[in-house]
Structure 1
Amino acid sequence: MNNNVLPVLIVGIVLLNLEACYGQLQVGFYEGQCGNQDVESIVNSVVTGSFASDRSIVAALLRMQFHDCFVSGCDASLLIDGDSSEKKAGANLSVRGFELIDEAKTAVEQACPGIVSCSDIIIMATRDAVTLRGGSGARYEVETGRRDGLISEKANVDLPGPQTSVSDAIDRFSRKGLDATDMVILLGGHTVGVTHCDFFEDRLWDFDGTGSADPSMDPDLVETLKLKCPQDTNNESVEVDLDQNSSSSNIVDNSFYQEIRSSRGILEIDQNLALDPSTTDDVATLANDGSIFLNLFGESMVKLGQVGVLTGTDGQIRLRCNSVNAN
């Protein structure tokens, strides 16, 4: 990404024909399929009600969509119960928001049984949550028309971790049809949410076996975090904001990029986005312009939602999102 290209990208977003289809996905897929009920409004009502009592649901749903789409595609396989299902993988044990998806599914089933997929509900609910925490400028149109997958295997879960290198992350995203800029933008979802000490405490106490802190982290932040994450202590339950700007840590905006440019990234992969030559220009551009971030974040979320989708007769419409046998 460079400053000369970005204006063209933004114009492209503005001029995008929102009825364009990718495969059989399209904006407004459910229009006219649910009697006089609007499917997206039903889901929005559930998300708004949940948000009123739990604003952290925004980060939870962003994580859910990423963890679902990045494994076997956006097929709601993450929602399926089972001893060896994706839910049981270590990376997914702290994923939450399942109750909200179930509530939304119940509501749409009452309005029009057997029409709306669980995978589409994840996509719609995440968009609505982002809008609630990012304002009208964060709203993006979502494509729908997915069907739900039939397979959910813990062994298939191989998500990028907090110590993944930038080059490896770019490679992993490219295998999903997402480029390096999409990767930088989607990791910007860390503008909301928290992590736990055990995912980064090596950066405070023994980075790369040196017995010292990661030199790329702001020394004042290191000392602050050492108080929260004492060495040789069980810190698994201690939460730390991924965006260290306390006035913005629960808002979908570009503050995350400003923080990592100031050496205040929490996860190693986040901090390295600002340092790696292949991504540092992207980070600078996004840090300097919040409107560009919101526009491109919506575009990249739509691209993420296109990964590995099932349409037509390839999948099913589940009656209950946690079971492939309920159709």
Structure 2
Amino acid sequence: MDSASFFPNIIAAISVILLLSNTACEAQLSTTFYGNSCPNALATIRTSIRQAVSRERRMAASIIRLHFHDCFVQGCDASILLDETPSIQTEKTASPNNNSARGYGVIEAAKREVEKICPGVVSCADILAVAARDASAAVGGPSWNVKLGRRDSTTLIFFVINSFLKNADLPRPDSDLRRLISSFDNKGLSATDMVALSGSHTIGQSQCFLFQERIYSNGTNIDPGFASTRRHQCPSNSGNTNLAPLDLVTPNSFDNNYFKNLMQRKGHLPSDQVLFSGGPTDSIVFEYSRNPKTFLSDFANAMIKMGDIEPLTG
């Protein structure tokens, strides 16, 4: 088949696939989806995730990020878990995830435990959503009722569409505020949801190359002492993959110090500091910095909304 006829046929195939998948998505997710088919699924996942986070506190941030990256590309369908093949590049090796996203083994371990009690019942997409909730709770963050009933991505939908779109929707660490707001709005998430979800950077670490330009810029929107400290950890001519905690004060606890850091111009990534830089999200950052309960509540609600992004159901 020549290229002139190949691409119209592919577009037609994609249209049919999307129509069928959207029809399936009309079914509703439910917090009691596995109540009869696998009543011990959630307890089993929780035990597995708590053990993983107990072994390594940083894993909590990695699992939450894994769920975020899954949902923002093609919806919450576990497509980020799919392995590479000789002919197909998957989300795992896309630039935002390659040598960066972690936690795959933790999700696989949780899946193995669930399979022991309910073979073939609980989807990987649901396990990842529940794991993000349990990871948050394990480090002092909020918990919430996870809506369930997602199906995992099928190879045809994933391989055809993802090869074109896998990088397009994920916010970049150097994004300006306008682009961030637009990216989240495209997923049905408000500016408040965006700031709340960004608060997950109160835990976890970042590789130096993602913020080196910021700490060496001598700009006015960064605290000089903070920049100096970070330069020691991230030399300009080396150390691109060195790690630095996103929250200087309590890097292993889910709290509101992230927002206090932003108000002191100690935001790590450029996309962090733009949330408090004279723009429309300043008031949200200020509110979260003084009212941790509001932040935790809004974060939980935003995670529920994010879990509703284009799920495959039915």
Whether the TM-score (by the shorter chain) exceeds 0.5 is yes
SS in 2 for 1:143: coil
The percentage of counterpart residues that share the same residue type is 36
- Equivalent position of 1:200 in the other structure: 211
Residues 4-15 of structure 1 correspond to what in structure 2 (within 5 A)?
A: none
Aligned-CA RMSD value: 1.5
> Distance between the aligned counterparts of 1:279 and 1:130, measured in 2?
24
- Equivalent position of 2:123 in the other structure: 117
AA at the equivalent of 1:115? V
The answer on whether the counterparts of 2:58 and 2:205 sit within 8 Å (CA) in structure 1 is no
List gaps (5 residues or longer) in structure 2. 1-25
Aligned partner of 2:284 among 282, 285, 289: 282
Aligned partner of 2:55 among 44, 53, 56: 53
Residues 156-167 of structure 1 correspond to what in structure 2 (within 5 A)?
A: 156-158=165-167, 159-167=170-178
Shift of 1:154: 4.6
SS in 2 for 1:240: strand
Shift of 1:23: 4.5
> Distance between the aligned counterparts of 1:276 and 1:268, measured in 2?
14
- Equivalent position of 1:92 in the other structure: 97
Aligned partner of 1:235 among 239, 244, 250: 239
List gaps (5 residues or longer) in structure 1. 1-21, 208-212, 313-327
AA at the equivalent of 2:105? E
AA at the equivalent of 2:29? L
AA at the equivalent of 1:45? T
TM-score (norm 2): 0.86
- Equivalent position of 2:196 in the other structure: 185
AA at the equivalent of 1:92? N
**Structure 1 moving runs of 4+ over 4 Å:** none
Residues 19-34 of structure 1 correspond to what in structure 2 (within 5 A)?
A: 23-34=27-38
- Equivalent position of 1:303 in the other structure: 305
Q: Quick check: which one's helix share is greater?
A: 2
> Distance between the aligned counterparts of 1:179 and 1:167, measured in 2?
12
Shift of 1:24: 1.3
TM-score (norm 1): 0.82
> Distance between the aligned counterparts of 2:62 and 2:193, measured in 1?
20
> Distance between the aligned counterparts of 2:163 and 2:81, measured in 1?
12
- Equivalent position of 2:185 in the other structure: 174
SS in 1 for 2:43: helix
Shift of 1:155: 3.6
> Distance between the aligned counterparts of 1:253 and 1:121, measured in 2?
25
Find out whether 1:256 has 2:267 as its counterpart: no
> Distance between the aligned counterparts of 1:31 and 1:46, measured in 2?
19
> Distance between the aligned counterparts of 2:215 and 2:28, measured in 1?
48
> Distance between the aligned counterparts of 1:299 and 1:256, measured in 2?
18
> Distance between the aligned counterparts of 2:184 and 2:229, measured in 1?
33
The answer on whether the counterparts of 2:259 and 2:288 sit within 8 Å (CA) in structure 1 is yes
> Distance between the aligned counterparts of 1:259 and 1:139, measured in 2?
24
Question: What is the aligned length?
Answer: 279
AA at the equivalent of 1:156? L
The answer on whether the counterparts of 1:69 and 1:305 sit within 8 Å (CA) in structure 2 is yes
Residues 61-140 of structure 1 correspond to what in structure 2 (within 5 A)?
A: 61-83=63-85, 84-93=89-98, 94-134=100-140, 138-140=142-144
- Equivalent position of 2:9 in the other structure: none
1:246-275 deviations in Å (ceiling 9; x for gaps): xx1111111100111111101111011011
> Distance between the aligned counterparts of 1:230 and 1:129, measured in 2?
32
Find out whether 1:217 has 2:216 as its counterpart: no
> Distance between the aligned counterparts of 2:245 and 2:219, measured in 1?
18
SS in 1 for 2:206: strand
> Distance between the aligned counterparts of 2:293 and 2:215, measured in 1?
34
Aligned partner of 2:152 among 148, 166, 179: 148
